[in-house]
Chains A and B, each alone.
Chain A
Amino acid sequence: MTATALVTTGNPAPKRRMKRRTGQTIIWMIGLTLLTIVVIYPLLWLFASTFKPNSEFGSNQGLIPNAPTLDNYVKVAEGIAGISMWTFFSNSLILAVSAVIGTVLSSALAAYAFARVKFKGLGILFTAMIGTLLLPFHVVIIPQYIWFQKLGFVDTFVPLILPKFLATEAFFVFLIVQFIRQIPRDMDEAARIDGAGHARIFWSIILPLVKPALITSAIFTFIWTWNDFMGPLLYLNSPENYPLPIALRLYNDQTSASDYGATVTASFVALIPVLLFFIVFQRFLIGGVATQGLKG
């Protein structure tokens, strides 16, 4: 809104132009800073609230706790329903790390086939792969659940990890395909003349060159798996198998009225790894999203 208002102002003398530009930049900065505060406020509020004693939640809605305390963290560290926080945390970690390994490996293999190998049915299968990008997950969760249930895998990590090794997330296959297409073909043609096969070209030439796309996929997979709620909700029954999001539900259900502080603090603790990943890798994440939307 500021932009349009500023651009339409009249034609000042050239000398004033510099001043006007600086003025505009300042207004622009202030406007965006205010917007940033609005957008980030929920997260700031979450962080600040972890230091509030329970009694303060009804009265103090501001950012600064009146009587800051670490009690909430102590309570969260003790765990809930007789299970330590560390159990939930390590469950989340096992799921996320396996998902990263599986997704990156299987997506890179599929992407190489789509981008660099000529095989019968390439066009149809590629279209089908993109099609799964648009497919609502509703139609597959019921049969998947029934099958995993019949196979006796409910309440294990198998239904949550196995699909990751089968390149089911088309987003990453597509992302890596886009990346491989940017690599000049001369490199693998040359390797081919030297007698290298596809396995060799994939492993020694393509993989090292698409490292940024692999890192992007790995970070997204980690964060999405870490935050995933529906999968664990469907497949895991025993609290000792719960990852953090489902464990948060324990706080939310059982203690929402009485122990607000612990609920909020557990929520914040669950977000810490994601926020750290974001701060460290934001360039990869934003770059990945940006290239994904702009084909060709």
Chain B
Amino acid sequence: MTTTLTKAVVTSDKDGKRSRATVPPLRPGLRKKGWRESLAGYAFLAPWLVGFFGLTVGPMAYSLYLSFTSYNLFSDPKWVGLGNYVRMFTDDPQFIQSAQITLVYVIVGTPIKLAAALAVAMLLNYRDKGAAFFRSAFYAPSLIGASVSVAIVWRAMFNTNGPVDSGLSVLGINVGGWVGNVDLVVPMMILLAVWQFGGTMVIFLAGLKQVPKELYEAAEMDGAGAIRRFKAVTVPMLSPVIFFNLLLELIGAFQVFASAYIISNGSGGPAGMTNFITLYLYKRGFADGQFGYAAAIAWIILIVVGVLAFVLFRTQKSWVHYAGEDR
């Protein structure tokens, strides 16, 4: 990420210099007034700076400290060193289970959701007639997917004798409800995530619109079939967008909370199968008052997400193509 970001900043600076150079009289004045310019910048940035240090950096530092303590909000934090982290991996089967189902949810759910989003985006990109309508219809779930209302609907739909169950039994498949079923409740949660493919699809669609039509025409002339064109034109041209979506979806998937909470009535059941990491953190910290332990869980999440993001950024050179680079 750092590479793309600094690049973005640098280009804007370049632009700035270029346009400033076209207005010569401004230059000397601006240079003298450099400190005033900086002051103005910080003035505009003041609310963000307060929020950034007061609500992000400060809390991060404090939660790192708390993660090495035992703290219940009422007595002073007691230093326990790595105790919380050791306990997590050696003496807390609930944490292990929570981490496992969350990883399954993230690693299975995200690619399915991205594939669905890309497939539908390509379908919509194929013709213009009515595409705007379909695009809006598919986008709607993304906007409300994380709401309590939708979680309640989802639970009702996948409950024993609910619409999905009765629909399947017509086809001769009897699963007997998904919500209470240890094997089916995670797939049900993944379906809920995939159902919200619309936001990702919209970004893919915008990316597809920018792929030059000539590339497809040229590939077709060379006798490339649909699959070949997908591999040789669509995927490389779209790779920055795929990268962006993959990154944001992975991180977003770790944070599933409201639906897991509502579907299991806050319990994380059946048998801990909806006890996703955020729900587990909530229960340990805010229900049991083990704030030090919860902070340690939070840091493990941050480390896992950080490593995932780092690996993605490291691999991006091999498969993400930015326009204007090589070629």
Do B6 and A110 have beta carbons less than 8 Å apart?
no
Q: Give chain A residues whose Cβ lies under 8 Å from the Cβ of B195.
A: 39, 42
Q: Give Cα A119–Cα B161 distance, bound, in whole angstroms.
A: 62
Instruction: Return the CB mask of B174-212 against A: 1 if under 8 Å, else 0.
Output: 000000000000000000000100110011011100100
Q: Give chain B residues whose Cβ lies under 8 Å from the Cβ of A202.
A: 44
With A168-B56, A229-B261, A286-B202 known to touch, is A293 a contact of B154 (CB < 8 Å)? no
With A123-B9, A285-B139 known to touch, is A270 a contact of B262 (CB < 8 Å)? no
Q: Which of B143, B244, B294 has the most CB of A within 10 A?
A: B143
Question: Is residue B101 contacting chain A, with contact meaning CB distance below 8 A?
Answer: no
Q: Give chain A residues whose Cβ lies under 8 Å from the Cβ of B268.
A: none
With A139-B301, A271-B144 known to touch, is A145 a contact of B23 (CB < 8 Å)? no
With A31-B123, A142-B295, A293-B203 known to touch, is A198 a contact of B265 (CB < 8 Å)? no
With A43-B140, A168-B51, A293-B241 known to touch, is A136 a contact of B255 (CB < 8 Å)? yes
With A8-B226, A36-B134, A294-B210 known to touch, is A125 a contact of B45 (CB < 8 Å)? yes
The residues in A between 88 and 145 inclusive whose CB is less than 8 angstroms from any CB of B are: 105-106, 109-110, 112-115, 117-120, 122-123, 125-130, 132, 134-145
Q: Give chain B residues whose Cβ lies under 8 Å from the Cβ of A163.
A: 51, 55
Q: Give chain A residues whose Cβ lies under 8 Å from the Cβ of B295.
A: 139, 142-143
B322 to chain A: closest residue by CB: A296
Do A127 and B47 have beta carbons less than 8 Å apart?
no
The residues in A between 143 and 181 inclusive whose CB is less than 8 angstroms from any CB of B are: 143-147, 149, 163, 165-168, 173, 181
Q: Give chain A residues whose Cβ lies under 8 Å from the Cβ of B45.
A: 109-110, 113-114, 119, 125
Interface SS majority for chain A:
helix
With A45-B163, A198-B40 known to touch, is A270 a contact of B143 (CB < 8 Å)? no
- 14 A-B interface contacts by CB (under 8 A): A106-B51, A109-B46, A123-B6, A127-B9, A132-B52, A136-B302, A149-B73, A181-B12, A189-B23, A193-B25, A227-B147, A286-B135, A286-B139, A290-B205
The total number of A-B Cβ pairs within 8 Å is: 313
Do B135 and A45 have beta carbons less than 8 Å apart?
no
Nearest-CB distance from A2 to chain B (Å)?
Answer: 7
Question: Is residue A248 contacting chain B, with contact meaning CB distance below 8 A?
Answer: yes
Q: Give chain B residues whose Cβ lies under 8 Å from the Cβ of A130.
A: 1, 5
6 tightest Cβ-Cβ pairs between the two chains A and B: A166-B51, A119-B41, A293-B203, A143-B59, A290-B206, A113-B44
Question: Is residue A40 contacting chain B, with contact meaning CB distance below 8 A?
Answer: yes
Do A1 and B119 have beta carbons less than 8 Å apart?
yes
Do B58 and A143 have beta carbons less than 8 Å apart?
yes
Of the residues A271, A285, A290, contact of B147 by C-beta under 8 Å = A271
Do B143 and A4 have beta carbons less than 8 Å apart?
no
Interface SS majority for chain B:
helix
Q: How many residues of B contact A (CB 8 A)?
A: 117
Q: Which of A139, A186, A264 has the most CB of B within 10 A?
A: A139
With A138-B278, A139-B302 known to touch, is A252 a contact of B152 (CB < 8 Å)? yes
Nearest-CB distance from B320 to chain A (Å)?
Answer: 13
Extra pairs beyond A134-B248, A139-B295, A166-B52 (13, CB < 8 Å): A39-B138, A49-B156, A117-B41, A119-B37, A139-B299, A142-B285, A144-B59, A166-B47, A245-B258, A264-B153, A289-B199, A289-B202, A295-B4
Q: Give Cα A123–Cα B148 distance, bound, in whole angstroms.
A: 39
With A118-B41, A119-B42, A267-B153 known to touch, is A142 a contact of B129 (CB < 8 Å)? no
